[in-house]
Chain A
Amino acid sequence: MSLFTEDMRMITAVVIEEKSDAVIKALLEIGALDFVQINNLPPEQMARLSKKRPNSNRAGIEDARHRIDNLLRQGKRPMPSSTLLNVKNMVGLNISEYTSFLNRFSASLTTLKDEQKSYSQRLEALKEMKSYVQEGKRDYLDVRTGKIEGKIQVLEKRLSEFGALIVQKDSFITTMSLRRDAANISQVLEMLRWTETEDGNAQREGAIAVADKLDEEIRLCNEKKEEIENQVAEKIQEKEPKLLEMWCNLRLHELSDQIRSYFKYTNNTTLFSGWVPRHDANKIETAIYAATDGQCIIDWTEVNEAEDSSTIPVAMKSPKILKPFQGLVSNYGTPEYGTINPTPFVAVAYLTMFLLMFADLGQGFVVFLLGLLLTRSYKKNPMKKEGLLNKSVSLLMIYLGVFSMIGGILFGSTFGFPVFPALWFNYHAVVEGQASVIGTPVQSVYDILGICIKYGIVVIFVGLLINWINLIRKKRWAALLFSSTGVSGTLIYSTGLYLAFGYVSSGYKTFPSDSWIVYAFIIGALGILVHEPFDWLINKKSRHNKTFGQVCISSLGIWVIELLEIFISYMSNTLSFLRVAGLGIAHVSLMGAFEQLAAIPGMTTAAGILILLAGNVLVIALEGLSAGIQALRLNYYEFFSKFFNGKGIAYSPVSLRSQSHK
């Protein structure tokens, strides 16, 4: 792991056009090249280049791939992902062949669904009759028993459009339909010379038989409906390998097209350019040579030769175990090229903040277990949909659980109870005012507040130190010496801290009166004043058509505001860490409240256990979330604001793992 963002190199290659497809495959397989558009050549050379490739139909390819997605989704099959992609399986693409396959397949599913629809409609009519039978609403039903002249099949055919049920028992026929269709049914029956029977037995038996048939028909329709639903799913499952094969080929062609869009062409050659991490440079070079049988020209540009360093993509390489913390950094922004990778610092700061706010061996173990279970479920089912809870958060929960457990050991808390002696001090005893009885090194909540403020100061100084290192590497001397986060700002902040601690140690009576304090403030403040003029003198790029006089006048104007801003921001940043103590105290107080509730006289043991259980669940859910969010906030606003401007451009190579539009 490098402490800084990864060292990059820019490749510019010319290959003969007939080998360009092989080059694309090779580059895609390595997936390390962040392409740039070639547009900084002299106009006459640019005019000789073209950006063609007539046979590419990217929209068509994307549409076809989305159609496959939709079919698989309809079959409730897992969505294909980049893990299935293999450049070696890429074959020529005939999009119309794919489309016609998809059309045929889709049409076959539609036919099945139409069949299902007819069963469903029949079922709806039957269910309505069944509901009236069950609810005793016989007024809505029309049941008749009698005889016809002619074949029963004719009757069945004629009455089928009204959804009527017909049964024959001995020589009698019984029909069941909805009363609202009675007039139409009567017309049909009259045509077939229907004679209603007066035989009560025949009517009763007919009614029973037709009710049985109703049940039977409902069962059959339900079965058929479900059978077709399963058939659709099976059909999609059956075609899944073919669909996945098509999906992969489409995706590979999509990615190839994406790479090709960066290519420029002359009559016989292809030209492209892009950034690559230094450690992948050889691999890329070798692959291009191999793909072109050496018929290529490769030129490397180093970072210091780049015209504009702000356009260099930033790659951060952190160990796998720090992956969730890299996510936290990326969420905020991308650091500038060549600066310190903040990930390991964030990991330490985030976890220690959480430890101080949510310290409990038992509750930490629960968070750890939840994280473990979630991570396992994602491993078991990689296609599982990610939302607020995702792979990264579940991994983060494992870390947070472990640190919460360490906190529990330090402060002697297990599910809010002092099961074992605290390694550092008993947080519960301090909050409850029992510290002097137990004799812990920390006596009151003010001591806890002090610890958190000192912890915050350390975090802020680490941020300032990182900033200095970044500025030295970037050779931004003016900012290093005279900015609010440079030496001048730090001098003002340090002097302010000296004053504040002196005041506190005097019992809030007097401020320290050392003579150097005034000089330190003056030097710091003057430093801020000369920042812009000094920058103008040493850095031509920062002049922006302004004269030295103009810069001096504007500096004077913003100086007072900047000084005020320094005082306010440093003070608020430092005091902001009081929330660490606040949440820690709230955590302990809440657990104390639940313990007291559980110990109310007259409360049964079971009720007491239930209260403690509910209390722990509530604290884990709400306090855990709250501590996680506050730790993130402290990192983003108090820590990052000292060194991180998020102006970098994230390294985004075209690779098999590149995100598709959907």
Chain B
Amino acid sequence: MKKRAVSQYGFINAKLKAKIGIIKDDQLESDLLKAGSLVEAIGILREHGYVQAAEAFDKTGDLQMVELSLLKDLIADYQSVKNLTEGYPQELVKIILMKIEVENIKNTIRLWYSSAVHHRPITYRTSYLIKESIVNKIDYISLINAITYENIIDALSGTWYQNILKKFTFEQISQYGLFELESALDKYWYGLQIKACSSLKGDDKKVAYSMAITEINLKNILMLVRYGWFHQMDAQRLQNSLFPYGRVYSDKITHDYIVSNPKNRQPELLLRDKYPELASALKDINPSDNKSSMINHTRSIEKFLGEQKKKNFRKILSGKPFTIGTPLAYFYYREAQYYMICGILGGKYYGVDSSEIKGILS
């Protein structure tokens, strides 16, 4: 087993650890924050080796084209990791890559929804979507040209997305929006991830499973606070919105929280065992505070939970070297870097002050 782990991960993990080291040491974030404008920020991207993204800006002047180029880089990176793994670990990497595909499909459906339901023009906006195959073979051209909901379902034939979409009707989504549909896609994807983690063996299984469950726990906490407390969602909808895995989902405290009167829900009860600091911070907040302060509170919870995730990945990196933990940590750092770049560029485009961008990012 040990020998197999070394041959499986020896090369790829050494390579990814070196890449993680570069990401961690990189001055990109501080350099980008210092840029006086989007044009200057693109100059910094070019200096840091993101030549294709910078050229996309040179040719179009369009920030979303830069983001698309960065996303394509990210996909190529994930695909190269997938090609360097084999067996069940490769299957898990494929599922992780599929998360980008899920987001791309969600974005496509959102565009269609905006045109078909809200009668908004989508024209050039489809050019910001990935149209190449990521994991599944999908006819994106049919998908973006869908006129009816049935056209969308047909365009996704042969994929699990179709089965999920078939559970909904046009009337349902035009009345209630895309939340339930998107949530169903996410839930199915998390199910695939858990299944892929369960197929792994030994240390791989332990590491991957614990990371997946931790993420689901954190997401569920966030939803319970955001929808159950701030938005005071009813018990049934709140229960349905949760991902059906992990300790938080099956906990009795969670159940009590959900079934309690939405006005009397106390999130500190959810958090006090696992995250006491966050629980005491939430104690003094009133859900009837104004919207912007609620957004700030949600952000601070996200920030806290993000920190927990970061801590877990740091722990993985300092742990056993020949496990799937390193590729998972790499995906985490790489994705964080992608969002950091997009976040700062977006901030620069809208003229947001550097310190404010930094505050949002951290």
A82 to chain B, nearest CB (A): 18
Q: How far is the CA of A228 from the CA of B39 in the complex (A)?
A: 14
A71 touches B43 (CB 8 A): yes
Q: Does B65 contact A (CB under 8 A)?
A: yes
| Residue in A closest to B126 when the chains form the complex, CB atoms | A128
In chain A between 168 and 220, which residues have their CB closer than 8 angstroms to a CB of chain B? 178-184, 187
* Chain A residues within an 8 Å CB radius of B38: 110, 113
Q: Does B35 contact A (CB under 8 A)?
A: yes
Q: How far is the CA of A427 from the CA of B58 in the complex (A)?
A: 57
Hey, what's the 0/1 contact readout for B115-150 against A, CB within 8 Å counting as 1?
110010111101100000000000001001111000
A106 touches B39 (CB 8 A): yes
Q: Does A144 contact B (CB under 8 A)?
A: no
A529 to chain B, nearest CB (A): 44
A110 touches B127 (CB 8 A): no
Among the listed stretches A114-122, A333-341, A578-586, A623-631, which one makes contact with chain B, having 4 or more residues with CB under 8 Å of it?
A114-122
* Chain A residues within an 8 Å CB radius of B116: 183
* Chain B residues within an 8 Å CB radius of A140: 141, 145
Which of B36, B46, B62, B119 meets A183, CB within 8 Å?
Answer: B119
| Residue in A closest to B145 when the chains form the complex, CB atoms | A140
A131 to chain B, nearest CB (A): 9
Q: Does B4 contact A (CB under 8 A)?
A: no
In chain A between 99 and 140, which residues have their CB closer than 8 angstroms to a CB of chain B? 99, 102-103, 106-107, 109-110, 112-117, 120-122, 124-125, 127-128, 137, 139-140
B355 to chain A, nearest CB (A): 14
Q: Does B34 contact A (CB under 8 A)?
A: yes
Hey, what's the 0/1 contact readout for B60-76 against A, CB within 8 Å counting as 1?
11110100000000000
Hey, what's the 0/1 contact readout for A86-104 against B, CB within 8 Å counting as 1?
0000000000000100110
B65 touches A120 (CB 8 A): yes
In chain A between 543 and 574, which residues have their CB closer than 8 angstroms to a CB of chain B? none
Q: Does B31 contact A (CB under 8 A)?
A: yes
* Chain A residues within an 8 Å CB radius of B37: 103, 106-107, 109-110
Q: Does A161 contact B (CB under 8 A)?
A: yes
Which of B41, B58, B127 meets A124, CB within 8 Å?
Answer: B127
Q: Does B59 contact A (CB under 8 A)?
A: yes
Q: Does A506 contact B (CB under 8 A)?
A: no
* Chain A residues within an 8 Å CB radius of B141: 137, 140
Q: How far is the CA of A111 from the CA of B124 in the complex (A)?
A: 20
B61 touches A116 (CB 8 A): yes
B250 to chain A, nearest CB (A): 43
Which of B57, B112, B124, B146 meets A122, CB within 8 Å?
Answer: B124
Please judge, given known A-B contacts A73-B43, A180-B115, whether A120 and B61 are in contact too, CB under 8 Å.
yes
Q: Does B340 contact A (CB under 8 A)?
A: no
* Chain A residues within an 8 Å CB radius of B43: 69-74
| Residue in B closest to A107 when the chains form the complex, CB atoms | B37
Q: How far is the CA of A71 from the CA of B37 in the complex (A)?
A: 10
| Residue in A closest to B44 when the chains form the complex, CB atoms | A70
Q: How far is the CA of A84 from the CA of B40 in the complex (A)?
A: 22
Which of B60, B123, B126 meets A225, CB within 8 Å?
Answer: B60
* Chain B residues within an 8 Å CB radius of A137: 141
Q: How far is the CA of A225 from the CA of B65 in the complex (A)?
A: 14
Please judge, given known A-B contacts A102-B36, A124-B127, A137-B141, whether A181 and B121 are in contact too, CB under 8 Å.
yes
* Chain B residues within an 8 Å CB radius of A106: 36-37, 39-40
Which of A113, A125, A229 meets B124, CB within 8 Å?
Answer: A125
A163 touches B121 (CB 8 A): yes
A110 touches B39 (CB 8 A): yes
Q: How far is the CA of A114 from the CA of B61 in the complex (A)?
A: 6
Give the number of chain B interface residues (Cβ < 8 Å). 37
B42 touches A74 (CB 8 A): yes
Q: Does A498 contact B (CB under 8 A)?
A: no
| Residue in B closest to A162 when the chains form the complex, CB atoms | B121
B121 touches A128 (CB 8 A): no
Q: How far is the CA of A109 from the CA of B46 in the complex (A)?
A: 17
* Chain A residues within an 8 Å CB radius of B26: none
Please judge, given known A-B contacts A161-B121, A162-B121, whether A71 and B126 are in contact too, CB under 8 Å.
no
B39 touches A117 (CB 8 A): no
B123 touches A163 (CB 8 A): yes
Q: Does A63 contact B (CB under 8 A)?
A: yes
* Chain A residues within an 8 Å CB radius of B147: 179-180, 182-183
Please judge, given known A-B contacts A69-B43, A74-B46, A182-B147, whether A117 and B35 are in contact too, CB under 8 Å.
no
B4 to chain A, nearest CB (A): 33
A180 touches B39 (CB 8 A): no
| Residue in A closest to B59 when the chains form the complex, CB atoms | A229
* Chain A residues within an 8 Å CB radius of B126: 128
Q: How far is the CA of A124 from the CA of B129 in the complex (A)?
A: 12
* Chain B residues within an 8 Å CB radius of A122: 124
Which of A66, A67, A184 meets B121, CB within 8 Å?
Answer: A184
B350 to chain A, nearest CB (A): 11
B115 touches A74 (CB 8 A): no
B124 touches A124 (CB 8 A): yes
A74 touches B40 (CB 8 A): yes
Hey, what's the 0/1 contact readout for B1-42 against A, CB within 8 Å counting as 1?
000000000000000000000000000000100111111111
A550 to chain B, nearest CB (A): 40
* Chain A residues within an 8 Å CB radius of B36: 67, 99, 102-103, 106
| Residue in B closest to A102 when the chains form the complex, CB atoms | B36
* Chain A residues within an 8 Å CB radius of B59: 120, 225, 229
B39 touches A74 (CB 8 A): yes
Q: How far is the CA of A71 from the CA of B42 in the complex (A)?
A: 9
Excluding A70-B47, A114-B61, A137-B141, 8 further A-B contacts by CB distance (< 8 Å) are A67-B36, A70-B43, A106-B37, A117-B60, A117-B62, A125-B123, A127-B127, A184-B119
The residues of A with any CB-CB pair to B shorter than 8 Å are 63, 66-67, 69-74, 99, 102-103, 106-107, 109-110, 112-117, 120-122, 124-125, 127-128, 137, 139-140, 161-163, 178-184, 187, 225, 228-229, 232
29 A-B residue contacts at CB 8 Å?
A63-B34, A66-B34, A67-B34, A70-B41, A73-B46, A74-B39, A74-B43, A102-B36, A103-B36, A106-B36, A110-B37, A110-B38, A113-B38, A120-B61, A120-B62, A124-B127, A139-B145, A140-B141, A140-B145, A162-B123, A163-B124, A180-B115, A181-B121, A181-B122, A183-B116, A183-B119, A184-B119, A184-B121, A232-B58
